[in-house]
Amino acid sequence: MSSAIELINPKAESVRRAQALQRFGMQVNTTGAMGLANVVKGNLGPRGTLKMLVDGAGQIKMTKDGKVLLSEMQIQNPTAAMIARTAVAQDDQVGDGTTSVVLLVGELLKQADRYISEGVHPTVIAEGFDLAKKDALEFLDTYKRSTDLDREVLISVAYTSLSTKVHQKLAKKLAPDVVDAVLTIRPPPPAADAVGEDAFRAPIDLHMIEIMKMQHRNDLDTKLIKGLVLDHGARHPDMPKRVENAFILILNVSLEYEKTEVNSSFYYSSTEQREKLVESERRFTDAKVKKIIELKNLVCDQSTDSKAPPKSFVVINQKGIDPMSLDSFAKAGIIALRRAKRRNMERLQLLCGGVAQNSVDNLEESVLGWAGLVYEHVLGEEKYTFVENVKEPKSVTILVKGPNAHTIGQINDALRDGLRSVKNTIEDNCLIPGAGAFEIALSYHLSTRTKKVAKGRTKLGVQAFADAVLVIPKTLAANGGFDVQDAIVSLQEEYEASQENGGNTAVGLNLQSGSPMDPIVEGVWDQFRVKRQMLHSCSVIAVNLLSTDEILRAGRSSLKPEGQQ
């Protein structure tokens, strides 16, 4: 049967539903979804494999992060591109679950294809998916565990997320650092008598965690610094390399010769006049430097017989500092850093205290921050300045180390997901047992209770959804090297037995032995909002693809007359 669009435009390119959904036809939607799922299937879980991405310039990136893979991979199939965009949106919203979304959409269309090939209309399957999604979200609310979110539980959450991106030894090393970083920057709870806006706790801002990369040593040397690392050092050889008990002056003031804002000319008739001109230009900058040095002398002044540790002074400026000003600072024993990044200037205030100054007028001790230790670290031709031992850090730095760019990039992607997982858990104040436990429980719930409520052929859609969610534990078992059918049957039998005994036990897959385990006891946790977003996203996209009866090439180029380019 020819497409109706061909009556309007004989040159139109289209794919009919018979081709888009038929079991032995082109299967554009189903094939595209399953093809994309097969690409990312091997990446799921701690035992997943890596993918190597090579760009046009020959640059190599090795990753098992679904978001990186889907956003950088070249995808031409329209269905696969649509699913990839949905999965990337999932990562932007909640920070994880991209691979799960792709797998679940592919499996939903695969299960639907079984019934469509037997003559069931796609709309019937779609109605079943909608009913199953609604009941699945309600079941998720009853299945969540509201546990005490102490540091140990949060470390388990971070480890579960990190172990799917990096090797286990590194995940164990990074998990406590990730948790401590988030807890450090977490705003304090409101006062008991607070009212209005003050009664609400401010959200966690992960931008206050600086991730600094240093190609040095190996990946296990990555560490958390409750301070700030600046990717540049002092620009004068005579400045101190390490100071303690340092006052920090945060500036946004130009300490270098500046040209006038308007075009102007100066005429002189003798060398004395020229010297006066140069001296007056210099005097303008020197006056600013003098005020800073006077402030340093005021706050760092100590009697000779004082037993208190000596005080130091550090200037961190967002704008430039010229060589003569640097020389003046070096003679005064001041460390001066110029052209600091704006984001670091904001973090410095949260870290050290103090107030950033846009002028050197009226400088006083109250505008200064404080740090117990400031030192410079030289690595090859690169210089790094560490600001540590601060009193109340509200910003921290995770220093990522690795022998090469591939390792550093991989750790950076893993840290991003790990930080989001801890943040999500704290804000949700609940957890979902991991290792495929939720999917096993949901499949059982849909197959028994929800299917009884469904009427007529809608039951087929509900059953297809119940079968599709098992793709997560199936893939975990396959990637772990275990027999998929044996693993799933043992998990289902274990869960059914616990239900018959009236228990609410979570049953997940042990990836070391392939046998059932209790993920709550083992500390394997998933995040509530990730599962909620995953269920919502994949059912919506699957219903949309099932409702597609024709794929047309868009654009007006096909309306041009014959022979016209």
Cβ(295)–Cβ(366) below 8 Å: no
Beta carbons of 29 and 36 less than 8 angstroms apart: no
The DSSP symbol for 357 reads B
C-alpha–C-alpha distance, residues 97 and 472, integer Å: 11
Marked catalytic residue, from 63, 65, 413, 526: 65
Half-sphere exposure of 484 (CA within 13 A, CB side): 9
Decide if 65 is catalytic: yes
Contact 499, 444 (CB under 8 A): yes
Considering the candidates 30, 31, 63, 99, report the single residue annotated as catalytic. Answer: 99
- In this structure, the strands spanning 550-552 and 14-16 are antiparallel
Q: What are phi and psi of 429, to 5 degrees?
A: 60, 30
Identify the three-state secondary structure at position 358: coil
- How are beta strands 223-225 and 525-526 bridged, if at all? unpaired
> 236 — phi, psi (to 5°)?
-135, 130
H helices present in 360-483, as ranges: 405-428, 437-445, 451-453, 458-468, 471-479
Active site (annotated) includes residue 98: yes
CB-count burial class (<10 Å; 0-12, 13-18, 19+) for 202:
exposed
The residues with which 62 forms a beta bridge, in sequence order, are 52
Read off the tokens for 10: 């004989």
Task: Say which of 417, 450, 458, 526 is annotated catalytic.
Answer: 417
Catalytic residue, from 98, 222, 397, 425: name it.
98
Give the closest residue to 31 by CA, choosing from 103, 117, 85, 109.
109
DSSP 250: E
Residue 469 and residue 439 in contact, taking contact as beta carbons nearer than 8 Å: yes
Distance CA 246, CA 559 (A): 73
Catalytic machinery residues: 65, 98-99, 417
